[in-house]
Structure 1
Amino acid sequence: MKPEKVDSTLDARGLLCPMPVVRASRAIRDLPAGAILEVLATDRGSVTDIPAWCESQKHELLHWEEDGGVFRYYVRKGG
């Protein structure tokens, strides 16, 4: 489910694999546990990369959607 509140947004549009995940890793690092990071990406590879990254790093992928070629991910930082 799409969250009502986002704590930070990362615009990774135009970046190719692996950069959306690399930038998301950097962006989420400074957020407190439980914070929600919104990631915007245009790389179709992010559809598999972002969920795999969330699982490997113990973050929770709350929701993702595509609109006009832009993928939007909502990630809750793990504790």
Structure 2
Amino acid sequence: MAHYVLDVKGLLCPMPVIRLGEQAKQLTAGDTVEMHATDPGVKADIPAWCRVHGHTVIEEQDDGDLICMVIEIGE
């Protein structure tokens, strides 16, 4: 298993989802991606994308300015 950081700060929908999708294609099951975003839309978009693609949001933090989500890559 490996852990990656994906910085999508300053990007608006749909770019955070697109960047996560590009990253996920390069990873294997069990890897994690820590996404740093500023678009509040990711709080709904990323979990929905994960459900469709078989991945899991295992952690989410929102301090008002920065949203951090950890996504575990599924099969």
Counterpart for residue 53 of structure 1 = 49
State the alpha-carbon separation in 1 of the partners of residues 3 and 30 from structure 2: 10
Secondary structure at the counterpart of residue 57 of structure 2: strand
Deviation at 1:69, TM superposition (A): 1.0
TM-score for the superposition, normalised by structure 2: 0.93
Q: Is the 8 A contact 1:33 1:77 kept in 2?
A: yes
The residue type paired with residue 69 of structure 1 is: D
Counterpart for residue 44 of structure 1 = 40
State the aligned residue count: 75
State the alpha-carbon separation in 2 of the partners of residues 6 and 18 from structure 1: 25
Unaligned stretches of 5+ in structure 1?
none
State the alpha-carbon separation in 2 of the partners of residues 63 and 19 from structure 1: 20
Percent identity, please: 39
Deviation at 1:35, TM superposition (A): 0.3
Unaligned stretches of 5+ in structure 2?
none
Q: Per-residue CA shift, 1:32-79, capped at 9, x if unaligned?
A: 111001111100111100110111101011010112411001000001
Deviation at 1:29, TM superposition (A): 1.1
